[in-house]
Structure 1
Amino acid sequence: MLSRMTLLRRISYVHAPSLKPFIGLTMHEMLEERVKKNPDREMLVFVSDNERVTFAEYKKRVIDLAAGFLFKLGLRRGDRIAIIGANHVEWPLITGAARAIGVGVANLLIGHTSHTFQNVMAQVSCKALFITRSPDTLYPMVCEMIPELSESIPGDLNSKHGMLNLDDISISGCEEEVATAAKKVTIDDVSYFFTTSGTTGSPKLVPFTHFQTLNGSIFAPNQFDEKQINKLTFISNMAYIVTTHLSQVGSLLYGTTAVFPSPTYTFEKLVQAVEAERIFMVLPKPSGISSVTVDDGPDVWNTSGRPLPNTEIQIIDEKGCPVEVGENGEVWIRSPTAFRGYYGDIEKTKQTITEKGWIKTGDVGKLSENGYLTIVGRIKDIIIRRGDNIHPSEVESFVVTHPAVNIAQVIPIPDYRIGEDVCACVT
């Protein structure tokens, strides 16, 4: 239920309370609870790969992979790994195995430059890098980022033949050992590191604990009936926080089925999946603070939806005051499960989070009288292509490395299929 005060005061503030208490479990403990309730229900569906995984199957594969992490890769609680790639089953298996034993996962975006990629890896001291299937250009791109990768021996991070297959890492029959490691994990251990563009054009790392990840995914209790099969589908890459929270974590909380129409987003595949899989909810944009359901009706499908439970949203003008309903301003959010700061960067944290806990998103948006949020742009110069934030400065610095280019200026151009596309003007 949304705050009635919003409608009465005509001020762009809205919040969505939650009637459910916070959860004091780790994510692996939550998986065990879900398997007890719905072992044979589908948790993950990858339509293009023709792959369907039940909760019981997922738990088994996660435990086997976690055993490989422990005994073949030597990973332990507090270690960090990184993952990059398109939407395939490997991604949730890797993250599930990591969080079972207390290993933090840095989610990397395919569009990052070599410089950004290396900085993120170094900042969290990654001990292993995982790459999912497709696109075909992904491995060569990683080799470009890490030149020694193509000449190393098996088992090393910098390896071509040593890029171990996931099935070669998994070990069966080590349930007790994994359970022992899992008992040491606490709700305050870091589960994920997400890269966020913020408003500066320089990607930053945001850590999320098991508590934040689980409780940040709590929906209003009347949205999902756990006795029924509710299917959600996503258009963004799993590296985004909203996709991870609602596809993997949401499934653990409510027994929902996460459907991925294709490894990378295409509108045609999305429409086909919605019809064939009878999708209940489509997550249209990686905002992570609001959602739209099919029941909301077509009039609001082009919005980012209403705020998720335990989330406040207000629209603020340049003077720091709330604007009236329907007017544009910067989107500020506040939630006990929202991120608490940038990893290793106190100064940027102070610039982004106010003393009263409001997060300045850098998005320009507006609220309707019914509490629906619409994102209309960015305060800073960022191109949003298929939901991916692309920084002109990063692209420009790469383009000018070509010997025939002296000056490069990158600008967005409208594209009805993907929102915006990238145009580089060079001399």
Structure 2
Amino acid sequence: MNRAYRDLVPASLRRSWAADGRYQDLDLYSLFERHVERCPDRAAVVDADGEISYTHLDVLVRRLAAGLTALDVHAGDVVAVQLPNSRLSCALDFAIAAVGGIVLPFPIGRGERDIASLLRRSRAVVAITAGSYGDFPCGQKTFDLVGDLPGLRSVITVGGATPLGCVPMSLLLAADHSDFTPARPDPDSAARILVSSGSEAEPKMVVYSHNALAGGRGRFIEAIRGGEDYRALFLMPLGTAFGSNATPATMAANGGTMLVQPRFDVASTLTMIERARPTHVFGVPTMFRKILDSPDLAATDLSSVRAVVLGGSALDAETARHVSEKLTATVINVYGSADGVNCHTAFTDPPAKVGTAGRPNPVVCEIRIVDDSLRPVPAGHTGEILARGPMSPMSYLAAPELDARYRLDDGWVRLGDVGRIDEDGYLTVVGRRKDVIIRGGMNISPAEVEALLLTHEAVRDVACVAIPDPVFGDRMCACVATDTALSLVDLTDHLSGQGLEPRKLPERLVLLPALPLGAAGKVDRKALTELAVRLATP
């Protein structure tokens, strides 16, 4: 069910970026195909089943594309994919591009309400999902939506018994691909819909073109690869915004090798690092705090790792220091979002700048800091962050109210973040405009308090959330992952010793063996807030 996708970046700008070489100006499958021709035997993906070359992955891609064509998937159609990381999920990205379709990836583990919302609003014609995930019957639950979603024609399931009415993946793979002819869509047309949880009632959906993915995000990967042999281990789901630096940017744009595993697990991650020898490991800070706590870390050969690329949430100095020391790799701190921004530190940055988000790279996107009237502020001054550049998305999907709220004239995007750029051009992100705890009229940044709490030797991980209070509106609760019987006084004394003013001290505490993670691998703050309301102690 095709629809028109608005591009709020002026076409003249897109064309100027192609003319000056920032875009390769090809669709994702054509870019992938080039690497198949140039380096057919290079490893494309390493997963739980071993290694597959670019040539053999292309065979899988073409079989899948032929199968999708047999299911009447055409150029412009949306295909939703909810699968764990594997060669199959990578191949599907390129297969959908090869038929001219638009992929809507989202992490396995999203619930029934989110699945229904995403499929309904995207008008997906096909959904590809795992047969089950734990006790949740993904395939059956997705098929149950068909009657309410007239545009959804087929549900394809992977693994386990095929629910009645669904199509098994084996049938898709059985299609004859000998005469398959790839579509060659306009590089400035829609290729991928990224899902951003954000703070909206329903997940935001952001439309990206082939050029924005391979050109914009691809240039980010090019800037951090640091050598010819680029092997990237992605710990987060490939269906997340951060994970979308994988097939489009790592493979299509840069011809790298992808290392993936079905879900994040510390033991399997260390085994993968030792066995598959990644040069780069991508993940969110919480994942690496778990890795650093592993007793097996010291016995693992980490010598192949040149860079640990951290994004998805704020990186504190303590975590960055421990990762750098224990993994003996450069820490690259990435500030990015599905809404359309990227900035990162580099191999050559001085130690004093590791706590920043690095310097904006204009071949990826420009960044401006503005005041409440959207006027640029001087260097060193704090304001709202705006971004625009080759990686900028087209628009929000079927959400003109979000376009009106977050998109400006000439393609600029309002991120809802606050930051500053210093005299040397380095960006520091202060926090979200909305992610503040308002206690008695005072705004408290949870990120500031969390960074200081992580310097306590007994705190493995922490997130601060607001719990309702009839007098003050909100009170801040520190949710702490620890093995020690910490008290609130222990933590507030530590914070006071770090110079935090008394009004910003947490007033409630929840101790946990580990912080709950959401489907994207980030800390699930909604679940933590519910826990805090029930369990918090003064």
TM-score, scaled relative to structure 2: 0.60
Aligned counterpart, 1:256: 256
Provide the residue aligned with 1:11 in structure 2.
none
What per-residue deviation string (whole Å, max 9, x for no partner) do you get for residues 208-238 of structure 1? 2223222222327665578x21123334321
Compare relative contact order (CA 8 Å, sep 6+) and give the higher one, 1 or 2: 1
Does the Cα contact within 8 Å between 2:209 and 2:394 map onto a contact in 1?
no
Structure-1 separation of matches of 2:263 and 2:28:
26
Asked if structure 2 preserves the Cα contact closer than 8 Å seen for 1:306 and 1:373, the reply is yes
Counterpart AA for 1:44: V
Q: 1:187 to 1:247 in 2, by over 3 A?
A: closer
The 5 Å alignment of 1:110-149 reads 110=108, 112-132=110-130, 135-137=133-135, 139-140=136-137, 143-144=140-141, 147=144
In structure 2, what is the equivalent of residue 237 of structure 1? 237
Please name the residue that 1:284 is paired with: 310
| 1:378 corresponding residue in structure 2 | 432
Aligned position for 1:51: 50
Q: Matched residues in 2 for 1:145 and 1:175: separation? A: 31
Contact persistence 1:23–1:211 (CA under 8 A) = yes
Structure 1 unmatched ranges of 5 or more? 1-16, 150-154, 385-391, 397-408
The answer on whether the counterparts of 2:61 and 2:94 sit within 8 Å (CA) in structure 1 is yes
Tell me which moved more, 249-258 or 30-39.
249-258
Task: Please tell me whether the aligned partners of residues 357 and 429 of structure 2 are also in contact (alpha carbons under 8 angstroms).
Answer: yes
Cα distance in 2 for partners of 1:410, 1:267 equals: 34
Residue 423 (str. 1) matches residue 529 (str. 2): yes
How big is each residue's C-alpha offset from its partner over 1:332-372, in whole Å with a ceiling of 9 and x where there is no partner?
11114411321222232021011243211112334455444
- 1:403 equivalent in structure 2: none
Alpha carbons 1:283, 1:291 under 8 Å: kept: no
CA–CA distance in 2 between the matches of 1:222 and 1:307?
Answer: 12
Change in 2 beyond 3 A, CA 1:267/1:318: farther
The answer for the alignment partner of 2:370 in structure 1 is 316
Residue 339, structure 1, aligned to residue 393, structure 2: yes
Kept after mapping to 1: 8 A contact 2:369/2:382: yes
Quote the Cα distance in structure 1 between the aligned partners of 2:266 and 2:353. Answer: 18
In 2, distance between residues paired with 1:305 and 1:259?
26
Q: Tell me if the contact between 2:75 and 2:183 (Cα under 8 Å) persists in the aligned partners.
A: no
The Cα offsets for residues 28-87 of structure 1, whole Å up to 9 and x where unpaired, read as 1111111111111112223xx25322211211110011111112x222222221111332
Q: Which residue type is aligned with residue 283 of structure 1?
A: V
SS of residue matched to 1:136: coil
Q: What's the secondary structure of 1:217's corresponding residue?
A: helix
CA apart distance, 1:304: 4.1
Alpha carbons 1:83, 1:131 under 8 Å: kept: yes
Equivalent in the alignment of 2:210? 210
The answer as to 2:43 corresponding to 1:42 is yes
What SS does the corresponding residue of 2:46 show, helix, strand or coil? strand
3-state SS of 1:360 partner = strand
SS in structure 1 of the partner of residue 253 of structure 2? helix
Q: Counterpart amino acid of 1:95?
A: D
Kindly indicate whether the alpha-carbon contact (under 8 Å) linking 1:192 and 1:209 is maintained by their aligned counterparts in 2.
Answer: yes
Distance 1:133 1:273, change over 3 A: farther
Cα separation, 2, equivalents of 1:341 and 1:156: 27
For 1:106 and 1:222, locate their aligned partners in 2 and report how far apart those are by CA, in whole Å: 27
Identity, in percent, stands at 20
* Letter aligned with residue 172 of structure 2: I
SS in 2 for 1:423: helix
Q: For each residue in 1:382-411, what CA deviation from the matched residue of structure 2 results, as whole angstroms up to 9, or x when unmatched?
A: 999xxxxxxx99xx9xxxxxxxxxxxx998
